[in-house]
Amino acid sequence: MGKRKEIAANARKEANKTVSFAKLNNVPTSPRKMRLVADMIRGQEAFRALGILKFSNKEAAARVEKLLKSAISNWEQKNEKKADEVTLYVKEIKVDSGAMLKRLRTAPQGRGYRIRKRSNHVTLVVDTLDNNKQN
């Protein structure tokens, strides 16, 4: 790794030490379906978002609920406080497309239809409302 990239990587690592986030990689659902769930909770208070996800009937909601619990736990570890004492909210939730498995399905008259089995990566950042006002 070159010196410039190393300096940039170290700066990024230092910035991540103050941010509480959780990542979920290679989720075998399409990014579009996951974004529908992500849009439901973006900007919401964390415990309200947990309620929304718990009672949502989408399959991706269970995965995002587990991810949100992990991000809250990460925040508690970094700040050495309980999440009940402060108001946490979903600062950022980002869904990126992941690897795509490409398959061929047989079709009539000697043809083949392409099947793209999509996956995605989800990054969820939680923060307190107090930190947002200070910045």
SS3 18: coil
Q: Which of 81, 15, 84, 21 is nearest to 47 (CA)?
A: 84
Mention every residue, 6+ apart, whose C-beta is less than 8 A from residue 56.
37, 40
111 part of a folded domain: yes
75 part of a folded domain: yes
Structure confidence at residue 133 as a pLDDT band (50, 70, 90): low
Type and span of the H or E element at 97: strand 88-97
34 part of a folded domain: yes
Give the least confident one: 10-19, 23-32, 94-103, 116-125.
10-19
Q: What is the CATH number of the domain that holds 97?
A: 3.90.470.10
10 part of a folded domain: no
Query: pLDDT at position 129, please?
Result: 81
pTM score: 0.87
57 part of a folded domain: yes
pLDDT above 70 for 90: yes
Mention every residue, 6+ apart, whose C-beta is less than 8 A from residue 70.
22
- Domain range for residue 111? 21-134
Query: pLDDT at position 18, please?
Result: 87
5 part of a folded domain: no
Overall number of domains in the chain: 1
86 part of a folded domain: yes
8 part of a folded domain: no
